Structure 1
């Protein structure tokens, strides 16, 4: 079972392909929601050395970054080897 934890935003790398899907309007909408209700859905990350790679939650990550937050709630998932 996945366990929620706080992760430093400055240690999270976003893959280039994911950045291209960023919608600034959605980031603004999420930032407003987070200001009112807090972060309700954790992001998903995988470990990459001493940093993390974003798997899911780009808009949540960018909304919290825009709000000046230093940490984000997330789940750490392990990559499967096929």
Structure 2
């Protein structure tokens, strides 16, 4: 079995005055077009905090927006779509 290499950029959570839902995190990282749907992990772990949604830059180094996975509607969707339909939270 080949070994996988994880590529990542350091991410900083920044305060957002944007008029988006509070379900979005505004991050400053190296996400690029095509990274949508990828996870934003808690540093040093495999814990998914949010899913990359969109970027508003074309240089792969500006601000990005990710949808939090700890909101009740998301937890309900995950639970309904997991095999067996249950999620411990």
Normalized per residue, the structure richer in helix is: 1
Structure with the larger RCO, 1 or 2 (CA within 8 Å, 6+ apart): 1
